[in-house]
Amino acid sequence: MMATLKELAQQGEKFLGGHRACAGCGATIVARQVLLAAQYPVVVGAATGCLEVISTIFPYSAWNVPYIHNAFENVAATMAGVEAAYKALKRKGKIDKELRFIAFGGDGGTYDIGLQALSGMIERRHRVLYVCYNNEAYMNTGIQRSSATPYGAHTTTSPAGTVLPGKLQPRKNLTEIVIAHEPAYAAQATIGYWNDLVTKVRKALDANGPSFINVFSPCRLGWAYPPEKTIAITRLAVETCVWPLYEYENGKYRITVKPKEKKPVEEFLKIQGRFAHLFKLKDKTPIEEFQAEVDRIWERLQKRCAE
Amino acid sequence: MIVARTGNEAMAEAMRQINPDVVAAYPITPATEVVQLFASFVADGLVTTEFVPAESEHSALSACVGAAAAGARVMTSTSSQGLALMHEILFIASGLRLPIVICLVNRALSSPINIHCDHSDSLASRDSGWLQIFTENTQEAYDTTIMAVKMAEEIMLPAMVTTDGFIISHGMERIELIEDEKVPQWLGERKIINNLLDVNNPITLGMLDLQDYYFEHKRQTIEAMNNALPIIEKVQKEFGDAFGRYYPIVDEYKMEDAEVAILTMGSTGGTGKVAVDRMRKKGKKVGLVRCRIYRPFPKEAMLKAITKVRVLGIMDRADTLSTLGGHLYNDCRSILYESEKKPLLKNYIYGLGGRDISIEEIEEIFDQLLKIKDTGKVDKDIVYYGVRGE
Ligand SMILES: Cc1ncc(C[n+]2csc(CCOP(=O)(O)OP(=O)(O)O)c2C)c(N)n1
């Protein structure tokens, strides 16, 4: 199952250059890695958001595969419709190719406004892989908080001020909400562990039913860090257990990348501007609370994996 | 075959015979039955459709967009709040030039919540780039549902076929059905220009158009609407030639020598025709005009019809909430601006939330119009007919 870089390089690019993403954009790396992993011809849909906006400015398109954008909250429903058409046309003998369907949505279009459509898509068992490129805020409209934004992060609608330390609530655990739907496959992944991601995409596309991968995807602008640090941050997220890499398959959980030693969350927080204010506070409670939340989720996940 | 069917049953029968590739829908009174019946056709193997029972109307229409982009023949059905929830996607469907057909059962919009007929739902969507056809009875609803598929595919714009909630949707009528196999035969295959499933020739749909392209692309959708009427007429003629029932763009009833007339849409056309007959028996020269194709607005045919009379009562089953009266009234005032012949106009906003309009009431309206003809004066240009306290 393990992919080699050589093999991937021979795939031919399906997400091309010529788009207008920021240097160091995580979302474009997600799109590129996911499409490289696909061993079937794919049809892609994207929700409104950064990925869509930077990749399809008429008359240019970065997509070397069929692509559709409908609106912000409905990529799951749109791809459900595409998949339904494929099934109908296949049954009627109008198409004979083996195709796969991939929906891309940001965290806003997935955790918040698009959650209902995502839930419906999985419940009706459409064979679509839904990839959330999770940059933990609404970046396209200028870095507003989403329900994927972690506790303590500064965004333009959860700003750190003189009395508030950024976002007051921990993030929603969407992966678990999706798993409660019992999809054919679900996972958390990130671009810094490309082989892990590629393997998960292949499993998801082979799974006979709806699948979901939540991909941790840094945004250098929204998270305020130098563009060359994108991959380093994803590795820190995994090493601190801020973003555990795991999968849910055949009703079982499995941690796919185990950190050698669990680092303190400060190491992840301190290299990003969105958390800078936390380090200027005399009161260390917000960082402690962040650590406590990470620990809680990590312990629970380990228990789930241990059976 | 002659059968007894409600409007909902007739639309569902049409959908069964069309056998669309994909139907994605969500139930809402009074359109629910269309979806329910269709689900039973799927369950009984009477159609080969992929049925997507979506979790909302927003997702239902979103799925229709995806399916239509993938080259499928696609239909859905809704009403009122359901259409309102689809509103955002209505524009995307027409902008992407996707020939989706909605069987729309007209129902008042909330608030206050109400399940009965008025036209506020479809008229609130009139600027979304969809063809809008208002039917008068069950036969017309059935025939038009079939025709709309062809119209939408040839014009490359989505279409709404409406019936009046409960009045047509739940009223049983005698209708003539076409034989099952003749419907798909007449429709033929959907021709597709851009196919999302063609992985060898990938296309990008729904792109970001900034100041430099949006206007040109929008202009093309406008042009499609500009060119729609002759195609609608052609399809109606083809349907008539094949099945013997011909439909007009604008329906004129006893208008040859009429001095006053009412202009209506939907089922009030039928009620109004009976009122015209009764008035004629009393020797009054009255007529009726019914707007069947509402979008695109049939300027020429409408002008030809309404300038035949001295006084026209325009009956709107919705208000624009603009202080300027109803939708039809405004459209007609607009086309009359450059016309040499201008009838005196009076706007009757009536029947909101399903308030009944009777034959006698329409006769009373005719009497008022005849009085205006005699005096040459319109006392009040917009009236809310049948509302307490007016
Ligand atoms: C119905 C609707 N509401 C709001 C918007 C404005 N909007 C466009 S993209 C976006 C945020 C996207 O955030 P996310 O899904 O996290 O993707 P990102 O931009 O971060 O990649 C918003 C709020 C919209 N397009 N549609």
| B256-303 pLDDT, tens digit each | 999 999 999 999 999 999 999 999 999 999 999 999 999 999 999 999
pLDDT per position as a tens digit, A48-76 = 999 999 999 999 999 999 999 999 999 99
Nearest residue in A to B204, CA atom: A67
Nearest residue in B to A126, CA atom: B52
Chain A contact set for B22 (CB, 8 A): 81, 84-85, 88
Interface test with B, best of A15, A56, A70 (most B CBs within 10 A): A70
For chain B, what percent of residues have pLDDT higher than 90? 99
Q: Which residue in the set A59, A91, A97 is minimally distant from B199, CB to CB?
A: A97
| Distance from chain centroid for Cα B243 | 21
For chain A, what percent of residues have pLDDT higher than 70? 99
Cα of A171 vs centre of ligand 1, distance in Å, is 18
pLDDT per position as a tens digit, A215-229 = 999 999 999 999 999
Residue identified by tokens 């409670």 is A285
Beta bridge partners, A189, equal A215
Chain A contact set for B210 (CB, 8 A): 57-58
Residue identified by tokens 């208008």 is B255
pLDDT tops 80 at residue A161: yes
pLDDT tops 70 at residue B122: yes
Q: Would you call A87 an interface residue with chain B, using a CB distance cutoff of 8 Å?
A: yes
Interstrand relation of B173-176 and B2-5 (parallel, antiparallel or unpaired): antiparallel
Q: Would you call B284 an interface residue with chain A, using a CB distance cutoff of 8 Å?
A: no
Cα of A49 vs centre of ligand 1, distance in Å, is 5
Distance in Å from the first CA to the final CA of chain A: 25
Question: Average pLDDT in the B34-47 region?
Answer: 98
pTM of the model: 0.98
pLDDT range class, residue B17, cuts 50, 70, 90: very high
| Residue B351 zone, left/alpha/beta (φ > 0; ψ -120 to 50; rest) | left
Nearest residue in B to A116, CA atom: B55
Calpha distance A305→A253 (Å, rounded): 5
Residue B255 and residue B302 in contact, taking contact as beta carbons nearer than 8 Å: no
Q: Whose CA is nearest to atom 25 of ligand 1?
A: A72
| Distance from chain centroid for Cα B348 | 20
Calpha distance B263→A213 (Å, rounded): 57
pLDDT tops 60 at residue B84: yes
Q: Whose CA is nearest to atom 13 of ligand 1?
A: A138
**Helix or strand (DSSP H, E) at A278:** helix A276-280
Distance of residue A53 Cα from the nearest chain B Cα, in angstroms: 6
Distance of residue B190 Cα from the nearest chain A Cα, in angstroms: 12
Side chain identity at residue A256, one-letter code? T
Nearest residue in A to B73, CA atom: A85
Q: What is the pLDDT of residue B111?
A: 97
Interface test with B, best of A61, A73, A86, A125 (most B CBs within 10 A): A86
Q: What is the pLDDT of residue A10?
A: 83
- In A, residues 117-146, which contact B (CB 8 Å cutoff)? 117, 119-120, 123-124
Residue identified by tokens 């459900």 is A80
- In B, residues 316-375, which contact A (CB 8 Å cutoff)? none
Q: What is the pLDDT of residue A54?
A: 98
Give the number of other CB atoms < 10 A from CB of residue A300.
12
For chain B, what percent of residues have pLDDT higher than 70? 100
Q: What is the pLDDT of residue A246?
A: 98
Q: Would you call B25 an interface residue with chain A, using a CB distance cutoff of 8 Å?
A: no
Interface ipTM > 0.95: yes
Cβ distance of B209 and A58 shorter than 8 Å: yes
Cβ distance of B197 and A85 shorter than 8 Å: yes
- In A, residues 37-66, which contact B (CB 8 Å cutoff)? 41-43, 45, 52-53, 56-59, 61, 63-66
pLDDT tops 80 at residue B307: yes
pLDDT per position as a tens digit, A119-128 = 999 999 999 9
Q: Which residue in the set A71, A94, A97 is minimally distant from B92, CB to CB?
A: A71
Distance in Å from the first CA to the final CA of chain B: 47
| Distance from chain centroid for Cα B338 | 27
**Pick from A164, A44, A109: nearest CA to B202:** A44
Cα of A107 vs centre of ligand 1, distance in Å, is 9
Q: What is the pLDDT of residue A3?
A: 82
pLDDT per position as a tens digit, B222-258 = 999 999 999 999 999 999 999 999 999 999 999 999 9
Q: What is the pLDDT of residue A4?
A: 86
Q: What is the pLDDT of residue A1?
A: 56
pLDDT range class, residue A8, cuts 50, 70, 90: confident
Q: Whose CA is nearest to atom 21 of ligand 1?
A: A50
Cβ distance of A117 and B60 shorter than 8 Å: no
Nearest residue in A to B24, CA atom: A81
Distance of residue A174 Cα from the nearest chain B Cα, in angstroms: 19
User: For a substitution probing ligand 1, which of A72, A172, A217 has the most ligand atoms within 8 Å of its CB?
Assistant: A72
Residue A181 and residue A123 in contact, taking contact as beta carbons nearer than 8 Å: yes
Question: Average pLDDT in the B170-195 region?
Answer: 97
Calpha distance B133→B117 (Å, rounded): 16
pLDDT range class, residue A307, cuts 50, 70, 90: low
Cα of A25 vs centre of ligand 1, distance in Å, is 17
Question: Average pLDDT in the A176-198 region?
Answer: 98
Cβ distance of A56 and B208 shorter than 8 Å: yes
Q: What is the pLDDT of residue B156?
A: 98
Question: Average pLDDT in the A116-135 region?
Answer: 98
Q: What is the pLDDT of residue B43?
A: 98
Protein residues whose CB sits closer than 6 Å to any atom of ligand 1: A 27, 48-51, 72-73, 106-109, 135, 138-141, 146
What's chain B look like in SS3? CEEEECHHHHHHHHHHHHCCCEEEECCCCCCHHHHHHHHHHHHCCCCCCEEEECCCHHHHHHHHHHHHHCCCCEEEEECHHHHHHHHHHHHHHHHCCCCCEEEEEECCCCCCCCCCCCCHHHHHCCCCCCEEEECCCHHHHHHHHHHHHHHHHHHCCCEEEEEECCCCCCCCEEEECCCCCHHHHHHCCCCCCCCCCCCCCCCEECCECCCCCHHHHHHHHHHHHHCHHHHHHHHHHHHHHHHCCCCCCEEEECCCCCCEEEEECCCHHHHHHHHHHHHHHCCCCEEEEEECEEECCCHHHHHHHHCCCCEEEEEECCCCCCCCCCHHHHHHHHHHCCCCCCCEEEEEEECHHHCCCCHHHHHHHHHHHHHHHHHCCCCCCEEEECCCCC
Query: A8 in helix, strand or coil?
Result: helix
